[in-house]
Structure formats: structure tokens, C-alpha cells
Amino acid sequence: MRVSTDAQFEEGYSAEAQAEMLTAYCVSRRIENYELFIDGGWSGSTIDRPEIKRLIDEVNKDLVATVVVYKLDRLSRSQKDTLYLIEDVFNPHGVSFVSLNENMDTSTPIGRAMLGIMSAFAQLERETIRERTRMGMKERIKRGLWRGGGKIPFGYDYDREKGILVPNADAETVKLMYDLYIKGWPMMKIARAAGLKYEHLARQILTRKTNTGVILYNGTEYRGMHEAIVSEETYNRAMELMKQRGSGARRPSSYLLAGLVVCGVCGTKMRYQKWGDKGCKIYCYSQDSSKSHISHGVKCDNHKVWANEIENAVISDIFRFSEKRTDSGDENAGQSGALIKQLQKQCELITKKLKRLYNLYAESGNELLLDTINENRSELEKLREKLAAEEELEAETKRSAETAERLSGIKEAWEYMSGEEKRAVIRECVEKVVITYDRVDIFYRAST
């Protein structure tokens, strides 16, 4: 038995009703040795439930002959989980499965055939409800209303009647936090001033773009109907400073590649060292006896190289890289999106076809339809896997395009940038710089 959290709205699904019908079934068949397994307040979308786990344990101990449910979705609303329980848990131990509502008994051939059909319907119902809920929430957010539920952002209250966020007394504290951060206060000191226990809480509040009057949903911004606590200009200024301060501002501004240089001979990190009045050299940590805990325990004979030569080589390569990305353009723009739409359309067509096949089977009971149903289900699964892969590829392409856009024009702006800004740009696109004697290899990040 399973009773969901909203079972009070489901007529006939209460624990008492299910228990009465299941007990009547056992009595009618003169079964005396039975036990009720009751998962109260659990969704059917998962089998990670206490009583299901106990049932599986008793099945594995060969203590169960038959499992009976009032309705198939009381076992699970997931087709995958239902088939797993029947095929991989019950059947290997000779356990029959009976669903009273669907008149299903897996000890018979027709019962086993019906199982696949009904579990598919249960999953289809669940996915339909989830999709409708998601679409409803998106439409709500597009109208500027708060998505409802969940944690309300610090500085706001939720007006349920209007469906929007309303600034509260803490809104002034949020304004103060932005002001102090822009003035250069450290995050821990800001947290204390705001009465917060931890530094990361202050950072979460400052980085929350909801404060500017927008609502974020699945990576997309929507203009909210709620009042902004700070201007977008203030927010962007704070984010710019946060990026700069997080890019290694404690290092000297001339050390553009600090932390990125790796020895190509032994694999150890390389460091900067002042070399008289001529500047700095970069050399392997393995060559520094005072840093033995950092080295890989290898006597390295890699060269000591002038830092400015390596930095200039990296900067020149970044300029060439940015020009190449800008010149090449996005030749494949739109192709991935078109393929995704095509795959989505194919999935919709097959889903509609499956619905018709399910209805035909339910009306006729013709088992020849089962092969066609299975073939279409298999094709649908392959299409969904391909669709997921294409969506991931499109997301990666988008990230790459965004990086290319940020790098465009970097050559012209370079001389006007501060040392911190230059270092931030390099860390954004360069993963590491490998020096092997007189050779320099530059490795860019995957999303660049």
C-alpha cells in the first residue's frame, strides 16, 4: 500500500480503503498468512521507500509467494521501477504479482502482457502531470509572478494573494551589504554587519539577481513584478568586483600566470622568482629544496625561463585565438537548434502513435500489437537519448560562443586593463601553460 502526501484528495486511495480491499481479496481466497506493507506520505515516483525496501528484503529471503496491490501505481508510477520489481525482484523468486484494479495477475500470460501496457500508462500519466506543472510554472514566471514555494529570498516576503515578492525590513540591510562590498569591505565583515553567521550567506545574498527585480528560471531571466532592492548597475558593479577579487588579487599584478604554469618534465607546478633587477624567472618547484612537499620527488632539470617571455607568448596566443574565434563566426549557428526541434517533433509523433496503439490494444487485446508497441518504445528511447546529447552539445556551444564574445576585442582593450582584469581574462580561457625546456604549450579550457 502507498498513500501519497495529497492522498486526502484521492477518493478511494486512503490507507483504510486500500487495506479493506486487500484484506477482502485475501479472505475471498482463504489466504490467512498475509501482511500489509504501508508506505504513508510517499510519492510513487521512487521505490526508495521504507516499506518497499522491506518487501524486497523479504522477497529475497523467499518469504513471499504473492504481492497484491489495489492499483498498479500504488507499487510505482515509474515504468522502469515497476518492471524492475516484477522482472528482477519478484519473478526470480517465483513471486506472483496481482493488481486488483487492473485485474492483473502475472502468473498468467495475459497478465504479464498487461503489465507492460499498464506500467507505461502510469509513467505517461506522471510525465504528463510533471510537464503540465513545469509549463504552468514557466507561464507564471513569464508574467512576472514569483514561482511560489521554496525559500523566499532574504530581504523579501511573499504576498500569496498577489503572487509577488514584497521588500521587507531586511531590504535596507541588503542595500547596505552592496554598499559596503563596493566600498571594499571583506565578505566576513559584511556578514557580521548584516547579522549573518557565515560568510557564504552574505555572498549568496549579493549574487542573487532577484534583488534587481528579475526572476531566474532554468538559466533564463524574466522581468518580475516585484520591486527591486538595488539597481542593476549596482548589482553588476558588485559582481565585477567579486570576479576581480576572486581572481587572485593578493598576487602581484605582474604575475599574470601565477598558478597556471606546469613543468612539462616532471609535472610539478612552476613558480615565479625575482631575478635581480632584470625581472622574474619561472622555474619548477622541484628545483626548490625548501618546497619538497610540493614537488613530485623527482630531480628536475627543466630550464629556468624569463617570465616576461612566457607571458608575452601566452598573451600573443590569446590575441590570435580571440581573432580566430571572431573571424570564424558561428557557421553551425541554428543547425543544432533545428536538429533538436526535429528530434522533439519525432518524439511527439511516436508518443502520439504509442497512445493510439495502447488504446487499440486495450480495446482488442490483440497481442500482435505488442511487438509494434515495443518497437516504437525502443525507437522513442533512442530518440530521447539522441535529443539529450544534442541539447548538451547546444549548451556547450552556447557557453563557447559566450566566451568567444567576451574575448572579442580583447587585443584593443588589453592596454587599458588593470593587472587583476588581465589575470581574470587569462584564467577564464586558459587551463594551464606547460613549459618543457624551450617549448611552451598553452591548453585552453573546454568551454573556450
Catalytic residues: 4
CA dist 191 and 203 (Å) reads 9
Q: What is the dihedral of CA 6, 10, 16, 20, to 10 degrees?
A: -150
- Residue 158 in 3-state DSSP? strand
**Encoded amino acid at 240, one letter:** E
Which secondary structure element, helix H or strand E, spans residue 182, and what is its range?
helix 171-182
CA dist 31 and 63 (Å) reads 15
Task: Give the per-residue SS3 of the chain.
Answer: CEECCCHHHCCCCCHHHHHHHHHHHHHHCCCCCCCCCCEECCCCCCCCCHHHHHHHHHHHCCCCCEEEECCHHHHCCCHHHHHHHHHHHHHHHCCEEEECCCCEECCCHHHHHHHHHHHHHHHHHHHHHHHHHHHHHHHHHHCCCCCCCCCCCCCEEEECCCCEEEECCCHHHHHHHHHHHHCCCCHHHHHHHCCCCCHHHHHHHHHCHHHHCEEEECCEEEECCCCCCCCHHHHHHHHHHHHHHCCCCCCCCCCCCCCCEEECCCCCEEEEEECHHHCEEEEEHHHCHHHCCCCCCCCCCCCCEEHHHHHHHHHHHHHHHHHHHHHHCCCCCCHHHHHHHHHHHHHHHHHHHHHHHHHHHHHHCCCHHHHHHHHHHHHHHHHHHHHHHHHHHHHHHHHHHHHHHHHCCHHHHHHHCCHHHHHHHHHHHEEEEEEECCEEEEEECCCC
CA dist 38 and 1 (Å) reads 5
Closest by Cα among 120, 71, 129, 100 to 361: 120
- Residue 444 in 3-state DSSP? strand
